[in-house]
Amino acid sequence: MFDKEVYRHRRDMLKKAIGRGVLVFFGNGEAAFNYPANTYRFRQDSSFLYYFGIDRPNLIGIIDIDNDNEFIFGNEVGDDELIWEGRKENLHDCVKKSGLCCLKPFDKAYDFFRRILKDKRKLMFLPQYRFRNKVLIEKFLGINSVFVNNYASIDFIKAVAGQRLKKSTEEIEQIQRAINISEGMYDIAFENINEGIYERQLLAKFEAYAIENGVWLAFPTILTKRGDILHNTRHDGVLRKGDLVVMDSGVETELHYASDITRTIPVGSMSQIQKDIYDIVDVAQKKAISKAKEGVRFLDVHLESVRVITEGMKNLGFFKGNTDSIVESGAYAIVYPHGVGHPLGLDVHDLEGLGEDYVGYNDKIKRSKKFGLSALRFAKELKEGYVMTIEPGVYFIEALIERWETGKKFFEFINYDALKKMVGFGGVRLEDDVLIKKDKTVVLSASIRRYTHM
């Protein structure tokens, strides 16, 4: 945990932003793998961690603004847990370390919520992604679990997002620690990508470094020569000379701050067309990073990368016509169907669970409905202290090429014959983590090795 004053300050800022009412944070419970006693590795809710810092299951955090009272509902470890899981830090002590007044038994939560409802006080909670918490809300507040998220407080969401997006010095240090461990992982990858090795063998060496250094994965590692499958988590391929291996991975620290890095590495040397496309993505990333500063819309950072990729792919014969027209039409998305990046922090896609349209968009910038551009997770103006990923890519996705050609989409802009010849190429993606400053961007992951060709 951070020092208790960090959590007190965060809660004070939140109370000032909201003004009145009762704020409820539902911590996560254990999640069963295939039967109740066999659980996945526990992961606390990120907003609960941000405001309370207690990494234990089955807790509810309360911030009663009207009465200036903050406490936790939860229970100390029972005999069964003591036997099977060993001695843990006293929960009362954890509560004190969070700067809270007290711990109340979990079974007192029902009466607390009934009093809040009886007194018709304003009560707010965030969107829920765990079914257990939706059931708890149904029990405590009488809201059908199916419709719980329809009642989540938008003001609460925006206040939390406003705080969590801007990273403190302590948070940046945590993210940098995660990135530093990622650096060691990629060193291992570069040293072990060889013809004849299975993807899973490389994965084992890659992920072992994270475990050896006391951290865990932030998300399932993408390590594949099928880079055209954007979130491919199969690892059954055998690496052959000429393959391009896309590796997209991240770890999270003991306090759960994440890294998110992608490198594309050839098995052997690159062919000329591989070099050409790699260079297009490399330039697109560098241009996007240069544009990302305080006050610049992330939408414009994305469009900068789109223009570079569109122009480069046009020069190689995959597009035709006016570059601005290709970008405006959305035809470019056949090779670049995702956004240029996203916020990074306690979540690898930071705050995604609160709703991207509230976190990454606002009244001035509404989400596009165009394919490709609609996948941009964050579009509004950048501010000092934001940590973002910058991750453009180019992919040759056979099914998408076939579907668009059959549907006669953008024939005036797309050279389908050229694209079809590239099926089997896979893809190229490059991703780094950057800190937004007032007048510049700091690439936190600049020291992580990347492929360079002569």
Cα–Cα distance measured from residue 34 to residue 368, given in angstroms and rounded to the nearest whole number = 40
pLDDT value of residue 83: 79
Which residues touch 121 (CB under 8 Å, ≥6 apart)?
21, 22, 66
pLDDT value of residue 217: 98
Q: Looking up tokens 């770890």, which residue turns up? A: 251
Q: What homologous superfamily does CATH list for 4-165?
A: Creatinase/prolidase N-terminal domain (3.40.350.10)
Cα–Cα distance measured from residue 301 to residue 378, given in angstroms and rounded to the nearest whole number = 10
Q: Looking up tokens 């998408």, which residue turns up? A: 400
Q: Which CATH code, of 3.90.230.10, 3.40.50.11540, 3.40.50.970, 3.40.50.410, is assigned to 169-443?
A: 3.90.230.10
At 69-104, the pLDDT tens digits run: 999 999 988 888 877 788 888 999 999 999 998 999
The angle at the Cα of 445, spanning 228 to 345, to the nearest 5 degrees, equals 85
**Where along the chain do its domains lie?**
4-165, 169-443
Cα–Cα distance measured from residue 420 to residue 429, given in angstroms and rounded to the nearest whole number = 20
For 249-317, give the DSSP string.
Answer: E-EE-TT--B--EEEEEESSSPPHHHHHHHHHHHHHHHHHHHH--TTSBHHHHHHHHHHHHHHHHHHTT
Cα–Cα distance measured from residue 277 to residue 317, given in angstroms and rounded to the nearest whole number = 12
What are the angstrom distances between the C-alpha of 408 and each of 330, 331, 402, 404, 413? 14, 12, 10, 6, 11
User: H/E element holding 7?
Assistant: helix 4-18
> Which residues of the chain fall below pLDDT 50?
none
Give residue 178's identity as a one-letter amino acid code.
A
pLDDT value of residue 78: 82
pLDDT value of residue 454: 72
Torsion of CA 263, 268, 273, 278, to 10 degrees: 20
Rg of the Cα atoms in the chain: 24
**Residue 395 · residue 426 · CB < 8 Å:** yes
